[in-house]
């Protein structure tokens, strides 16, 4: 087992996963309470709030943070993080000013809009600091932030729910948890002493590939959730949207627990192998097999027990959410097993092709939901959504393997 862990470079993955598992247990443990305090409509409104945040968070940093693992020195990594954070602060400030001007001229600005700039900045900043912490090998900081994030978001949301807050309890809990988590990452990545010469003349012009290809691709990727939430809300209403968001939150937890940590650690390792002129295809293939085996067991349990479990744990109102989970099981396996290797397109400068695949993927997903709407069945919509998503993940995985076939002389 020790040899296998070393071979797959999973030491840091397991370190992060073990620590962040505590955070996921907090998420699972709080979900039955949240589902009884807030109804499906409350979750739908929070889903819409989150759906607006994540594409703007990608736009905020212009994906500059994705260049941090490739930085040759620590100082260069810090300067790239600083550039990404400055961009995020500017966009969040502009949005806040726009809302303020609209409010001054008499337009009603609800708490929903008022919290958006803070949400956008914290999500973008946490993403940036997460990359920086792994680049600096400060995995304990990264793990601590995940526990803190889950603890405060869920704890505060529950507390506010008891004081009869509606969906704003979920929104405010999210915002406070994000701010505290950002502080943890900031403190954990602070520079102890200056050991290198400052990097000069670093600006956005040095990251055109990330801006013009990674940023549109990232926004398209966010539409896998945001677009789904918007489409479900338009076609099937608040209740179906809330049911889907709960389903996504529960089955996505393992992806956040392991898959995202695989991305962070393997991006660093693959970068090292590429810089040495070695192929990282075996790294991808071996790790993907392990992830598919692990997630396959979970998928079997979801298919067999999800509706009953959702009804028992979260309340009878959420049984339909379990039905959605059952149909999404194949998508869950492939999302879990393939998405961690999206860094391959970045390393091989194939972001334009990755963007094309993501556009096709989103079009097919939204098309599947619309077909389900024409059939007047949300279950058919989710089933078709899962089918087209699974096919696209298989195509993308084969493409990643071909990209990773680097010859030593290259």
Both 186 and 139 in a single domain? yes
Same domain, 102 and 203: yes
Instruction: Quick: pLDDT tens for 270-304.
Output: 877 787 777 888 888 888 888 889 888 888 999 99
Q: pLDDT tens for residues 300-355?
A: 999 999 999 999 999 898 999 999 999 999 998 898 888 888 888 888 888 788 88
Q: Say whether both 288 and 405 belong to one domain.
A: yes
* pLDDT in the model for residue 57: 94
The residue written with tokens 């990097």 in the block is: 199
Please state, in angstroms and rounded to a whole number, the distance separating the CA atoms of residues 237 and 383.
Answer: 18
Q: Do 262 and 123 reside in the same domain of the chain?
A: no
Is residue 285 located within the same domain as residue 380? yes
Q: How far apart are CA 74 and CA 86, in angstroms?
A: 18
30 belongs to a structural domain:
no
pLDDT at res. 49: 94
Helices 116-135 and 139-162, axial angle in degrees (round to 10): 150
Expressed as residue numbers, the domain containing 362 is 223-410
**Lowest mean pLDDT, pick from 57-71, 134-148, 229-243, 267-281:** 267-281
Q: Is residue 244 part of a domain?
A: yes
Give how far Cα 257 sits from Cα of 2, 22, 86, 238, 405, Å: 21, 10, 28, 28, 28
8 Å CB contact between 37 and 158: yes
- Tell me: do 282 and 234 sit in the same domain: yes
Mean pLDDT (whole number) for 163-174: 88
Q: Look at residues 4, 55, 351 and name the one whose alpha carbon lies nearest to residue 225.
A: 55
Whether 15 and 142 have beta carbons less than 8 Å apart is answered as: no
Dist. CA 2–CA 64, nearest whole Å: 35
> CA 77, CA 214: separation in Å to the nearest integer?
18
Regarding whether 204 and 244 lie in a shared domain, the answer is no
299 in the same domain as 243: yes
Give the mean pLDDT of 217-235: 89
In this predicted structure, the answer to whether residue 70 has a pLDDT above a threshold of 80 is no
Please count the structural domains in the chain.
2
Can you read off the two tokens belonging to residue 96? 């806040």
Q: Choose one of 174, 208, 242: the last residue of a domain.
A: 208
For residue range 188-219, what is the model confidence (pLDDT) as tens digits?
Answer: 998 766 555 556 657 777 787 788 877 887 88
**183 plus 231 within the same structural domain:** no
Q: Which of 208, 241, 274 is the last residue of a domain?
A: 208
Is the pLDDT at 362 greater than 70, yes or no?
Answer: yes
186 lies in the same domain as 308 = no
**pLDDT: is 14 or 245 the higher one?**
245
């Amino acid at each position: 087992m020790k040899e296998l862990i070393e071979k797959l470079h999973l030491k840091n993955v397991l370190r992060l996963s073990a620590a962040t598992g505590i955070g996921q247990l907090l998420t699972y443990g709080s979900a039955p309470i949240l589902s009884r305090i807030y109804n499906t409509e409350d979750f739908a409104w929070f889903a819409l709030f989150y759906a607006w945040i994540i594409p703007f968070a990608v736009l905020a940093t212009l994906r500059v943070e994705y260049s941090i693992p490739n930085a040759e020195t620590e100082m260069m990594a810090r300067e790239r993080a600083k550039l990404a954070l400055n961009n995020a602060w500017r966009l969040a400030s502009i949005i806040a000013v726009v809302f303020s001007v609209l409010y001054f001229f008499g337009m009603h600005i609800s708490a929903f809009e008022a919290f958006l700039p803070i949400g956008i900045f914290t999500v973008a900043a946490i993403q940036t600091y997460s990359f920086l912490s792994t680049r600096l090998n400060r995995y304990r900081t990264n793990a601590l932030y995940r526990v803190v994030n889950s603890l405060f978001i869920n704890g505060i949301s529950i507390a506010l729910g008891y004081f009869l807050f509606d969906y704003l309890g979920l929104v405010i809990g999210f915002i406070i948890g994000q701010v505290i988590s950002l502080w943890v990452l900031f403190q954990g990545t602070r520079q102890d002493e200056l050991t290198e010469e400052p990097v000069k003349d670093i600006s956005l012009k040095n990251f055109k590939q990330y801006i013009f290809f990674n940023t549109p691709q990232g926004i398209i990727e966010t539409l896998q959730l945001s677009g789904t939430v918007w489409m479900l809300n338009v076609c099937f209403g608040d209740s179906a949207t809330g049911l889907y968001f709960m389903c996504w939150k529960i089955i996505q937890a393992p992806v956040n627990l392991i898959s995202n940590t695989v991305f962070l650690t393997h991006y660093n390792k693959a970068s090292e192998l590429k810089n040495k002129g070695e192929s990282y295809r075996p790294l991808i293939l071996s790790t993907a097999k392990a992830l598919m085996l692990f997630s396959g067991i979970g998928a079997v349990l979801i298919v067999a027990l999800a509706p009953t479990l959702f009804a028992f744990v979260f309340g009878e109102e959420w049984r339909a959410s379990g039905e959605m989970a059952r149909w999404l099981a194949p998508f869950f396996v492939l999302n879990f097993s393939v998405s961690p290797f999206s860094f391959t397109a970045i390393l091989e400068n194939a972001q334009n092709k990755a963007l094309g695949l993501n556009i096709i993927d989103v079009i097919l997903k939204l098309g599947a939901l619309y077909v389900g709407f024409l059939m007047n069945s949300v279950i058919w919509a989710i089933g078709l959504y899962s089918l087209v998503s699974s096919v696209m993940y298989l195509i993308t995985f084969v493409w990643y393997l071909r990209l990773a076939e680097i010859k030593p002389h290259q």
